[in-house]
Structure 1
């Protein structure tokens, strides 16, 4: 008798035989498992009686794709293939091994106490990941304030799924990883839009979650945001400690140059705000070195892809401003503004507002007003508390200049409140 169960599962998941083979390959790559399947082999699984048993690496991928143990896919699975303790928790507990020996269904349900909930597999994980990726676009285009609401909705849905659904340990790890990345997002949104207390709480949640899933790179991401929050709070020692821990974790994870570049930028910021200008120069030198070698990176986390020459120019400008030479900062800020590509509307407004402030500090009043007018023209759709603070800082500094362009810009700034 043909394996109608597997064929039915595939069709319900929306796959043709060819698209399932492609999805299988993607999931194997994501899991880091050396496994593949051909259309011919899939046809044998679905048509032969009894169907040939997938080998263990194929089993691991199939169980993640469908969110079911192999025994529930129409295969006759030997007992020793149903009792692998690692697939429900990796705790090596001999007593648990005895408890789960036998039914694959028990092993699947052991992930959660409620074994009657909906099954969650790779397709549901992919949908959550797509929504997580959408948050990057909202943040880059419109700022942290409008990104908060969809992030909170996604968190509620993920929490509900984790507490009321049935899934394999592989799928569970993916869901926990998404929840951790979401906490990292919320920490960043809080840095951009406040309140700082909520941002710090989200940051600490992300660090804890990253430790629980043993993801040093996500710990690095959370520590990078913590360093920024610590600088704003005047906790310079904490910012420096976050940077040192981020370096250590990045080395442990074998992270590439781009991740190290992000950390060096945070190091430069922490040193600059602490008036450790020699330390800031060293960090900037590291950043320049990492930028020059970043092309060799074969894989860059999504959260680190923004980093490049633009951010090094911006950090260099901050160094010169802190050193008391705003005129030297201007050329680096111009380069940073010019180098930002499309899709970074919020950052463009940030950087251009800083350029306007710096031009004002050098006495270039008309040019400063021109840059700030450009910010005001372009930032109508951006909701960012940090940007608002920069507009207010420009207003406060500009009121001392007696020029028509200044009065016009100040009036427009006040209209944005």
Structure 2
């Protein structure tokens, strides 16, 4: 029954893809850091925590769990005996300081990952190091969703360097593979930073490297992430044949074959490629497949950080692109509105991008005044942050279409004059 299982701990372990044996190893390593002697927590102990046979771990284990997870024992679902106590994080733990430092850095434009010097790291590397780096990837992804990927390239590359350095001292083959996968994730994030900023020249090199690292990790999810970004890069370069081929390579990954969520994203990306290629029938066919696959996905299951953005809102946004490109702007406008209604507030950059797309759909229907008003909302949404290069290019498309479709040059000139300062200073 639910009351006889520690759901909070089970969910954390699932989200971090950690087995009971690996959690025990991480707890023992953390104990060793602050006490000088590794702990003796066993896999059986973790099972007792999960089944609530042990509702309140020993003090050293509670402190180690907090160091490993960044959560309090109560947040992890443990129930104190008698009067509750607050378990402070060990003040000298370098991993906790690193998480706090990164959280503060995420609010700044620099957003660099502060890596501890090599001398501060143990010679043996294990699951706790994997968790720490995975948390760093998640923070980069969250920062990207808030203000765009621009400026995150170096932080991501630093994370990749750290993951590769640690894998040389990793304790097991599984940990080594996870560190390779994290290096691939960081490197793909660096590529995305360039793609989102519209700086396309270096992105392909990062993606080539990320694909190699994904192969070393034997991680099909990381391989799919790379192919997904490769499709986006090709589309921005207007190489639509490569965009379709990359999307189809994403479809062929093992993760896409077994996960409806990943299948849906690969089909949707293929639909975008075919739409830009001028093959409306194929585009709409793949769009239908994407919708069907997403309807079969369990959206309550934990997702990898890189694909956390994908769900009904993103599929609506991609539908708006496909429908508009194939000449169905009214259906595209409806899809864009559905996307904006479903988007979480934290996805500010995606909201701005979809709003720019909405303006284009309105313009393509001849609703000039409404389109101009909608496009202006983009600057309001991104106020206080630089305008990502992809959105700049989209607004450039809007300006060109406005000049071509407006009944008088005055309307286009007025739009340009009104937003020139915000556009050029972003």
| Distance in 1 of aligned mates of 2:340 and 2:148 | 17
What does 1:78-227 align with in structure 2 at a 5 Å threshold? 118-162=123-167, 165=169, 167-227=171-231
| Distance in 2 of aligned mates of 1:19 and 1:383 | 52
Q: Per-residue CA shift, 1:175-220, capped at 9, x if unaligned?
A: 1111011122122222211422311111111211112221122211
| 1:122/1:295 CA distance change after superposition, 3 Å | closer
| Distance in 2 of aligned mates of 1:172 and 1:229 | 29
What is the match of residue 312 of structure 2?
A: 309
The CA RMSD over aligned residues, in Å, is 3.8
| Distance in 1 of aligned mates of 2:398 and 2:344 | 25
Measure how far apart 1:414 and its partner are. 4.0
What is the match of residue 416 of structure 1?
A: 425
Q: TM-score, normalised by structure 1?
A: 0.69
- SS of aligned partner of 1:118: coil
| 1:24/1:302 CA distance change after superposition, 3 Å | farther
What is the match of residue 270 of structure 2?
A: 267
What is the match of residue 228 of structure 1?
A: 232
- SS of aligned partner of 1:146: coil
What does 1:316-331 align with in structure 2 at a 5 Å threshold? 316-331=319-334
| Distance in 2 of aligned mates of 1:367 and 1:21 | 64
Q: Could you tell me whether the CA contact under 8 Å between 1:138 and 1:146 is conserved in 2?
A: no
| 1:405/1:383 CA distance change after superposition, 3 Å | closer
Match of 1:335 among 328, 335, 338: 338
Q: Could you tell me whether the CA contact under 8 Å between 1:220 and 1:246 is conserved in 2?
A: yes
Match of 1:239 among 232, 238, 243: 243
Structure 2: gaps (5+ residues)? 1-25, 59-67, 69-120
Measure how far apart 1:225 and its partner are. 1.2
Q: Per-residue CA shift, 1:244-296, capped at 9, x if unaligned?
A: 32222236x75311011110111101111111111111101101111221137
Aligned residues: 333
| Distance in 2 of aligned mates of 1:224 and 1:346 | 18
| Distance in 2 of aligned mates of 1:362 and 1:204 | 40
Q: Could you tell me whether the CA contact under 8 Å between 1:345 and 1:382 is conserved in 2?
A: no
Q: Could you tell me whether the CA contact under 8 Å between 1:356 and 1:369 is conserved in 2?
A: yes
Q: Could you tell me whether the CA contact under 8 Å between 1:177 and 1:210 is conserved in 2?
A: yes
Q: Per-residue CA shift, 1:348-386, capped at 9, x if unaligned?
A: 010001111222232222222222222111212244110
Measure how far apart 1:392 and its partner are. 2.8
Structure 1: gaps (5+ residues)? 1-5, 27-34, 44-64, 66-115
In the alignment, structure 1 residue 279 sits paired with structure 2 residue 299: no
Q: Could you tell me whether the CA contact under 8 Å between 1:259 and 1:300 is conserved in 2?
A: no
| Distance in 1 of aligned mates of 2:149 and 2:164 | 22
- SS of aligned partner of 2:345: coil
Q: Could you tell me whether the CA contact under 8 Å between 1:349 and 1:378 is conserved in 2?
A: yes
Q: Per-residue CA shift, 1:35-56, capped at 9, x if unaligned?
A: 99x979x99xxxxxxxxxxxxx
After TM superposition, the structure 1 stretch with the greater mean CA deviation from structure 2, 400-409 or 134-143, is 400-409
Highest CA radius of gyration, 1 or 2? Answer: 1
